[in-house]
Amino acid sequence: MSKLSFAFALMAFSSLTWADTASCTIEIEDVNAGSKSKVEHSFTFKSGSEAQRKHFALPGSKFSCTLAFFDLKSGTMLSCQLDELGHNFVQSDRSAIGEGSAKNNLSFRYISSFHVLQSYCK
């Protein structure tokens, strides 16, 4: 392999390993049960693409939740819904990564459920 071919191969490999990724953690607290859990997910993002989503269930409840990851400039958003149709839902604001790391906090009480979610991406 020539030096030029080797240089091109090295550049191609390094561009793949340095792809823009964000590692996100969602800490979930069930206040009534006194339990905590975590969901972790990595996103690979491209500027101008649609939001990527990580769906997860809230342990001990009928809620299904979503962490939406937009891009480095637009941040993240948390939402949870009770039923499949989404008639009963809660949603956080959309964070801005320019503040440091993308963080969202969402706490809600619904009938006998009381949950606190904290997400952060870096």
Q: Is the pLDDT of residue 67 over 90?
A: yes
Q: In what order do the strands lie in the sheet with 102-110?
A: 35-44, 21-30, 113-121, 102-110
**For residue 79, which amino acid is it?**
S
Q: Is the pLDDT of residue 84 over 80?
A: no
Question: Whole-model pTM?
Answer: 0.75
pLDDT in tens, 101-122: 678 899 999 888 899 999 988 8
pLDDT in tens, 6-64: 444 444 443 344 458 889 999 999 999 999 999 999 998 776 778 899 999 998 888 99
